[in-house]
Amino acid sequence: MRSGEFRVSVTKDYLVFASAHFITFAGHRCEGLHGHNYRARVTIEGALDGESWFVFDFVTIKHVMRRLCDEIDHKVLLPLENPKIQITEDEESVKVAYEGKPRYVFPRSDCALLPVPNTTVEMLAELLTNRLRVELDKLGAKTLTAIEMEVEENFGQSAYYRVGLR
Ligand SMILES: [Zn+2]
Is the pLDDT confidence value at 140 over 90?
no
Axis crossing angle, helix 121-138 with helix 58-72, rounded to the nearest 10: 130
> 34 C-alpha vs ligand 1 centroid, how far in Å?
6
Per-residue pLDDT reduced to its tens digit, 80-137:
999 999 999 999 999 999 999 999 999 999 999 999 999 999 999 999 999 999 999 9
Band (149; pLDDT cuts 50, 70, 90):
very high
Least confident of 50-59, 95-104, 128-137, 156-165: 50-59
Closest by CA position to 114, among listed 68, 54, 47: 68
Measure 40 CA to ligand 1 centroid, in angstroms.
Answer: 15
Q: 0.85 exceeded by the pTM?
A: yes
Q: Which of 121, 118, 157, 140 is nearest to 49 (CA)?
A: 140
**111 catalytically annotated:** no
Residue 3: band (very low, low, confident or very high) from pLDDT cuts 50, 70, 90: confident
The per-residue pLDDT for 1 is 67
Cα–Cα distance measured from residue 143 to residue 157, given in angstroms and rounded to the nearest whole number: 31
Q: For residue 45, what are the contacts with CB-CB under 8 A and spacing of at least 6?
A: 5, 6, 7, 55, 144, 145, 146, 147, 148
Give residue 144's region: left, alpha or beta (phi > 0; psi -120 to 50): beta
Distance 155 CA to ligand 1 centre (A): 13
153 is catalytic: yes
Report, as an integer, the average pLDDT of 37-65: 94
pLDDT at 44 over 80: yes
Catalytic residue among 5, 74, 89, 99: 74
| 115 φ, ψ (degrees, to nearest 5) | -80, 65
pLDDT tens sequence across 15-43: 999 999 999 999 999 999 999 999 999 99
Reply yes or no on whether 74 is catalytic: yes
Give me the pLDDT at residue 50, please: 85
